[in-house]
Amino acid sequence: MRSRAVRASSGLLLTRQATPTSICSQCLRDELLLTIAPVIHSRKYHPSRRRDVSPIGAAVSAAQNLFTKGFPKPPPGVSVDPLRIVGKELKFLTKNIRKLLGSGHPMLDKVAKYYTWSEGKHVRPLLVLLMSQATALAPRNPHTHSSSISSQQQSYISEPISSPLVLSDANPDTSPLTAPAAELEGIFGEDPNILPSQRRLAEITELIHTASLLHDDVIDNAVTRRSSSSANTQFGNKMAVLAGDFLLGRASVALARLRNPEVIELLATVIANLVEGEFMQLKNTASDERSPVFTDDTITYYLQKTYLKTASLISKSCRATALLGNSTPDIVEAAYSYGRNLGLAFQLVDDMLDYTVNSVEFGKPAGADLELGLATAPLLFAWKSNPELGALVGRKFEQPGDVERARELVARSDGIEQTRALAQEYADKAAAALDILPDSDAKNGLLDMCEKTMKRRK
Ligand code: FPP
Ligand code: MG
């Protein structure tokens, strides 16, 4: 058996014996099947959905919005990225996240903030901010008393619920290790269409995502992340895991201070879902067979894992955004559907890029999934027409030549095209979910994210 970094690094978590046979509740299964069943059973490719506003129109509209707000005029022929709609807001994001992560323990402070110094895509906070703006223009729920709360009145999101004496009750009674609450002030951006609670939610999504990356890099024994040394390489596994835990702790505090139980429930569920998805990923199929056979359940299992591992954070944070903005129930559902479908498209494209781009462009090792023993969509679709892949999937591509053979069969099949088509179906569904929202630059920005997801190379 070829030795692999992922296994060598592992310990308990990665041993086959530790792999559970079934970890999914019926609820999770039902939730996911509702999402994926129409796609799996129709498995038709729909051409990209036509939108009322073309990408160029969206860019121009966003550009007009930006330039009327004091930005210099662009040179003729230069397009403007609609993501700049929330560009100003995003500038505050990393700064605020570092404030949320402040610790009096210098080493913990350093490791916890480590991934905030490298260039992340900030996809999740970006979506929360765009969704905040897009839903701000839609009808509000008149039945929620807080529908009239202004930005100023939301200063409570930085205020502790318990007594600060309790929250910093280091024992023995020396100076507290935690950052004082006062440090969290000054988080407010400028856009009146984004509530402070929604801005804080954007930060929380990035904290949860970064915590999962810290842990994921330990599990995958990753050497690099975002083209730099991974935290585990830099500081060792123990500190990387503990820093991830610390991020979750601070995210939980910030979440509690939003003082919205439904939002707390959603985001706490996301954290559990991330772990469930990662557990599912310890196996390639629901069965424990040595040489599994491809069935429809193979794709269902993969998509369920994909939802839990990636789409759950995006879907539930989009839902939480609409809830914090006191949107009407139909808008809450639309935001949720957008996030769920975009999240699935996002991970399918990620799994496709692992086969199609090189490591430099990808910003992380390409071709890593097979090396880690993972069978993702391109391989699963190739398996359908190449039964010999079953044995390789069953033994997680661990025999010499398995990875190369699997790559060859994927390249000779239509696995990549099928993955792209399925991702496009989800991206189109995400775009369709936005139909209910009034036209705005932010809505165009969300639509543009569907296109960017499909076109991205990293
Ligand atoms: C990246 O996957 C990892 C995730 C999307 C989720 C990882 C989740 C955990 C490790 C569970 C623990 C969760 C928390 C919140 C502490 P990838 O390996 O496919 O992507 P990569 O190539 O970017 O590493
Ligand atoms: Mg990884």
Residues 42-70 pLDDT 10s: 332 232 332 333 333 333 333 333 323 33
Ligand nearest to the CA of 367: 1
Q: Is 30 a domain residue?
A: no
Give one DSSP letter per residue of 274-307, joined into a string: HHHHHHHHTSSSSS--SS----HHHHHHHHHHHI
Q: Is 361 a domain residue?
A: yes
Give me the mean pLDDT over the 321-334 stretch: 97
Q: Which two tokens stand for residue 85?
A: 């709609």
Of the candidates 310, 314, 332, the one whose C-alpha atom is nearest the C-alpha of residue 323 is: 332
Asked whether the beta carbons of 338 and 430 are under 8 A apart, the reply is: yes
Q: Which two tokens stand for residue 134?
A: 């897009």
Q: Is 14 a domain residue?
A: no
- pLDDT score of 241: 98
List pLDDT tens digits, range 21-40. Answer: 333 334 333 444 444 433 33
Closest residue to atom 9 of ligand 1, CA basis:
212
* Contacts with 97 (C-beta within 8 Å, 6 or more apart), sequence order: 116, 203, 206, 207
- pLDDT score of 85: 81
Angle at 168 between CA 95 and CA 109, to 5 degrees: 40
Rounded distance from Cα 14 to ligand 2 centre (Å)? 13
- pLDDT score of 50: 29
Give me the mean pLDDT over the 359-367 stretch: 71
| Ligand 1 contact via 305 beta carbon (within 6 Å) | no
* Contacts with 208 (C-beta within 8 Å, 6 or more apart), sequence order: 247, 248, 251, 267, 270, 271, 274, 313
Atom of ligand 1 nearest to the CA of 244: 16
Separation between Cα atoms, residue 40 and residue 27, nearest integer Å = 19
Q: Is 330 a domain residue?
A: yes
Atom of ligand 1 nearest to the CA of 277: 8
Asked whether the beta carbons of 233 and 90 are under 8 A apart, the reply is: no
For the entire predicted model, the pTM comes to: 0.81
Q: Is 15 a domain residue?
A: no
Q: Please, what is the average pLDDT of the chain?
A: 80
Q: Is 60 a domain residue?
A: no
184: pLDDT strictly greater than 60? no
Atom of ligand 1 nearest to the CA of 220: 18
365: pLDDT strictly greater than 70? no
Q: Is 23 a domain residue?
A: no
Q: Which two tokens stand for residue 401?
A: 């030549």
Rounded distance from Cα 321 to ligand 2 centre (Å)? 27
As a whole-number percent, the residues of the chain with pLDDT over 70 amount to 75
Atom of ligand 1 nearest to the CA of 275: 11
| Ligand 1 contact via 109 beta carbon (within 6 Å) | no
For residue 348, the Cα-to-chain-centroid distance in whole angstroms is 12
List pLDDT tens digits, range 151-176. Answer: 667 888 888 898 888 887 776 555 54
Into how many domains does the chain fold?
1
**DSSP state, residue 225:** E
For residue 224, the cross-strand partners are 229
- pLDDT score of 300: 96
* Contacts with 238 (C-beta within 8 Å, 6 or more apart), sequence order: none
- Structural domain for 355, as ranges: 79-140+173-455
What CATH number is associated with residue 389?
Answer: 1.10.600.10
Give one DSSP letter per residue of 80-128, joined into a string: --GGGGGHHHHHHHHHHHHHHT-BSSHHHHHHHHGGGSS----HHHHHH
Q: Is 44 a domain residue?
A: no
